[in-house]
Amino acid sequence: MEPVIGIIGGSGLYQIAELADAEWHEVATPFGAPSDALLHGRIDGTRTVFLPRHGRGHVQTPSSVPYRANVAAMKAAGVTHLVSVSAVGSFREEMAPGDFVIVDQFIDRTFAREKSFFGPGLVAHVSVAHPVCPALSGACAKAARQAGAKVHEGATYLVMEGPQFSTLAESRLYRDWGCDVIGMTNMPEAKLAREAELHYASVAMVTDYDSWHPEHGSVQITEIIETLHGNVARAAGLVAALPGHLGASCDAGCETALDHAVITAPEARDPAMVERLHGIAGRLLTGDAPS
């Protein structure tokens, strides 16, 4: 099956000019409306679907982003490989503003978001021990370097609720925990992508040093926006180069993540939940995989 690339763009990335035959399509999902319409097109002949995470004009806060609807919309559009592009602060001197970081782990500190497609009447426990697709992450690293970015591979992303930035004490604590970058949006997105059995990768674009750095002080939104402009140009280059690097096959089980995850017995499953989850877990709920 040919891959279909999905791009969820974070702060500063609200459209992709590189898409050929681009058209916006309004969509609805059983989990509500996504952040915006989906932009369908092709890059180097590969079907690509783009969604601005915060909506055009940046109207959604990190807490109000409809994460379930966003991932469900991508799945319904046929996306197989979902790439998150987001702005982050850095806890590491070597991960400087303007650098790209390919994330492979998360610490989820959010508390005001729906974090699963499943629920009462249809319970599932999916593993997120390794929450990203290594093959897709590797392709993103190669594409980012081709676009001229300085790239760091392998990092832990602390996901905070926001919308405020960290206190100095929090920033120091997260550094002590071994976190590398901090942002507000990759959770529950990564967990939902795993439940939807999508290949998922996180490309974090560093805009600042959070508040821990003695020479940079507190985070200033004007400085972040200035750095974002440069990052967005390289992000567009990454997206344009990505189809050429998707050759590696995934052996991490992304496409079968729900095998053995559903706990609710078939006879006890809520029919309304089964119907609601058809677009996410239809492969499993229709009996095509073990439960």
Size of the chain in residues: 291
What string of DSSP letters covers 199-246?
Answer: EEEEEEEEEE-TTT-TTT-S--HHHHHHHHHHHHHHHHHHHHHGGGG-
Q: Are 140 and 147 in contact (CB under 8 A)?
A: no
Q: What whole-number distance in Å separates Cα of residue 89 and Cα of residue 204?
A: 9
Q: What whole-number distance in Å separates Cα of residue 177 and Cα of residue 102?
A: 19
Catalytic residue among 36, 108, 180, 210: 210
Catalytic residue among 36, 99, 108, 208: 208
Q: What whole-number distance in Å separates Cα of residue 101 and Cα of residue 106?
A: 13
Alpha helices in 1-146 (DSSP H): 67-76, 134-146
Exposure class string for 87-121: b at 16+ Cβ within 10 A, else e = bbbbbbeebebebbbbbbbbebebeebebebbeee
Helices and strands in the chain, H and E counts = 7, 11
Residue 251 known to be catalytic: no
The DSSP element (H or E) to which 176 belongs, if any, is helix 168-176
Residue 288 known to be catalytic: no
List phi, psi (to 5°) of 229.
-60, -45
**What does the angle CA 291 – CA 202 – CA 99 come to, to the nearest 5 degrees?**
165
Strand partners, 6: 49, 82
Query: What is the set of active-site residues?
Result: 208, 210
